[in-house]
A = this chain, B = another copy of it.
Amino acid sequence: MSSSATQVFEIAVNLDDVSGEVLGAALESLLADGALDVWTSAIGMKKNRPGVMLSLLCKPEDRDRLTRRVMELTGSFGVRYRAWDRLVLERTEATTQTPYGPVRLKVGSLDGRVVTVKPEFEDMRTAAESHGVPLRKVLACVRQRSGE
């Protein structure tokens, strides 16, 4: 579809016997273990159980390792996985100055055209905390300068 088309794997498991406390820690562990993204979705399961689907995206070479990791972290008897194709933007880096300090930007292009500009969240948070202003104020300043 494009030179920037890639393949990723989704690993998913439905859980009704793990608490939110354990799931929050599992989400952080899986990101530290190399998952590209990890998220939870609320689902309704049998016997009136409010369950959670834990999902992640990873590179093909991490699939088997992370499938086992999900089993260890959740104690599930079955974990499923399958491939997705993915279109990703080419990335370049930039930096913008704000009254609260510099903020790095990720610039995303498709077929040579800039589609999006995303400020680094941690730079904005650091700026907001060091100046005691709400994060959304820093975000507004970045947008004034970056056009996003």
- Measuring CB to CB, which residues of chain A are less than 8 angstroms from any residue of chain B? 1, 8, 12, 14-29, 31, 37-53, 57, 63-64, 67-68, 71-89, 91, 106, 108, 110, 115-116, 118, 121, 125, 128, 134-136, 139-141, 143-145, 147-148
Bound Cα distance A57, B79 (Å):
12
CB-based contact B115/A72 at 8 Å: yes
Name the distance in Å between A56's Cβ and chain B's nearest Cβ.
11
Shortest Cβ distance from residue A137 to the other chain B in the assembled complex, whole angstroms = 8
Contact at A18–B136, with CB atoms within 8 Å? yes
* Contacting pair B49 A116 (CB below 8 A): no
Tell me if A48 and B27 are in contact (CB < 8 A): yes
